[in-house]
Amino acid sequence: MVKYQGNMMSLRKFVAGNWKMNGTGENLAEVRAIAEGAAGYSSVDCALCLPATLIERAVRAAPGFAIGGQDMHQAASGAHTGSISASMLVDCGATLTIVGHSERREEQHESDAQIRAKAETAIAAGLQVIVCVGESDSVRGAGQAVATVAAQLDSSLPQSEGAAAQLAVAYEPIWAIGTGKVPSIGDIGEMHAALRQRLIRAYGEAGRSVRILYGGSVKAANAAEIFAVPDVDGALVGGASLKAVEFVPIVVAANPADG
Ligand code: PEP
């Protein structure tokens, strides 16, 4: 059997920031600075996923720059106090959303089935969607990381017609989020290769074009090495996306040398 060598297609890198529960109006200057900094690297797709309260103002502050949500409800509308729908995100000018972040899977007990439903609703509304998956420390310690994350992906992926065209996947080991710990380059490569195979199994050839982002303590100092791993098509960045001085160098690292 020929060993999998990585996707034959080189995909345009995608670097998305996740501000989590950080940011008020005074941070819009930072959104603008990030948008302006990223604009110089047009061969990289860049986005910020912001608190819902900032989305509309950020879209106005940084016209043409992709602004997204961090979550949304799977239903179109209704009695879901405190939740945001896909059409509300679109109405604010968002063009993408994260679903299935581990903080929501853990804190809100969101299931794979719910995340799949959210992704399908987001796609139907015309949003790009980043579906997050990742293993805990104990799962990795038990040698079950690849099997666990692959199964999580299988049951979280949207099944709607043409879904692959609006989809990115973020592999985020839970133990690497906000901790400064990063898996070895070999472990990242092994996971991304396994996820690529699952995407091809789910979507056929279209699965080769779905970008697989790595997330978990990505910084300017480690980004280039991570981006060089086959099937790492970008990054989902938490802490280092809050400031242009930390985030823009990650976008620069994703920019091909001749770009
Ligand atoms: C995240 O929560 O999506 C994330 C990757 O966080 P950090 O970059 O801070 O580890």
Q: What is the mean pLDDT of residues 251-255?
A: 96
DSSP 8-state code for residue 245 = H
Residues with CB under 6 A from ligand 1: 18, 172, 177-178, 215-218, 236-240
Q: Is residue 45 part of a domain?
A: yes
Q: Does 148 score more than 80 pLDDT?
A: yes
Ligand 1 atom index nearest CA of 241: 8
Q: What is the pLDDT of residue 259?
A: 56
Task: Find the 151 Cα to ligand 1 centroid distance in Å.
Answer: 22
pLDDT of residue 77: 96
Q: What is the residue-averaged pLDDT of the chain?
A: 96
The 10 Å Cβ neighbour count of residue 60 is 11
- For ligand 1, atom 4, the nearest C-alpha belongs to 238
SS percent in the chain: helix, strand, coil, step 5 = 45, 15, 40
Q: Are 254 and 41 a contacting pair, CB within 8 Å?
A: yes
In a domain, 236, yes or no: yes
Distance 132 CA to ligand 1 centre (A): 11
3 pLDDT exceeds 70? no
CATH number of the domain enclosing 156: 3.20.20.70
In this predicted model, what pLDDT tens digit does every residue of 186-199 receive, in sequence order?
999 999 999 999 99
Tell me the per-residue pLDDT of 214-245, one tens digit each, with 9 for 90 and over. Answer: 999 999 999 999 999 999 999 999 999 999 99
The C-alpha atoms of residue 148 and residue 195 are separated, in whole angstroms, by: 11
User: Does position 157 have pLDDT exceeding 80, yes or no?
Assistant: yes
The SS3 assignment for 197 reads helix
Q: Containing domain of residue 37, as a range?
A: 14-242
Is there a domain that residue 217 lies in? yes
Residue 49: CA atoms inside 13 Å, Cβ hemisphere, count? Answer: 26
Judge whether residue 42 has pLDDT over 70: yes
> pLDDT value at position 84?
97
Q: Is 172 a catalytic residue?
A: yes
pLDDT band, very low/low/confident/very high, at 131 (cuts 50, 70, 90): very high
Rg of the chain, C-alpha, whole Å: 17
Residue to substitute in 105, 130, 179, 218 for testing ligand 1 pocket (most ligand atoms within 8 angstroms of CB)? 218
| Of 79 and 2, the one with more pLDDT | 79
Alpha carbon distances (Å) from 81 to 77, 78, 99: 10, 9, 18
Task: Measure 240 CA to ligand 1 centroid, in angstroms.
Answer: 8
Given this model, what pLDDT does residue 5 score? 72
Mean pLDDT within 140-162: 97
Token pair of 203 as six digits: 């979507």
Domain presence at residue 250: no
53, part of any domain: yes
In a domain, 1, yes or no: no
Nearest atom of ligand 1 to the alpha carbon of 239: 9
Q: Over the stretch 46-83, which tens digit does the pLDDT of each residue have? A: 999 999 999 999 999 999 999 999 999 999 999 999 99
pTM, two decimals, is 0.97
Q: Check: CB of residue 27 under 8 Å from CB of residue 247.
A: no
Q: Each residue of 64-101: b (16+ CB within 10 Å) or e?
A: ebbbbbbbbbbeeeeeeeeebbbbbbbebebbbbbbbb
Q: How large is the average pLDDT for residues 103-119?
A: 97
Q: Where do runs of H (alpha helix) occur along the chain?
A: 28-39, 52-61, 86-92, 102-107, 112-124, 137-141, 145-156, 185-203, 220-227, 244-254
- Identify the residue whose C-alpha is closest to ligand 1 atom 7: 238
The active-site residue out of 101, 103, 120, 135 is 101
What is the Å distance from ligand 1's center to 50 Cα? 13
Supply the angle between the helices 145-156 and 112-124 in degrees, to the nearest 10.
Answer: 40
Count how many domains the chain has. Answer: 1
State yes or no: is 73 an active-site residue: no
What tokens were used for 51? 């608190």
Query: Regarding beta strands 45-49 and 14-18, do their DSSP bridges make them parallel or antiparallel, or are they unpaired?
Result: parallel
Protein residue with least CA distance to atom 8, ligand 1: 238
Would you say residue 9 lies in a domain?
A: no
User: Would you place residue 1 in the very low, low, confident or very high pLDDT band (cuts 50, 70, 90)?
Assistant: low
pLDDT reading at 8 higher than 90: no
**Position 247 in a domain:** no
pLDDT band at 258 (very low <50, low <70, confident <90, very high): low
Main-chain phi, psi angles of 248, to 5 degrees: -60, -40
Does residue 4 surpass a pLDDT of 80? no
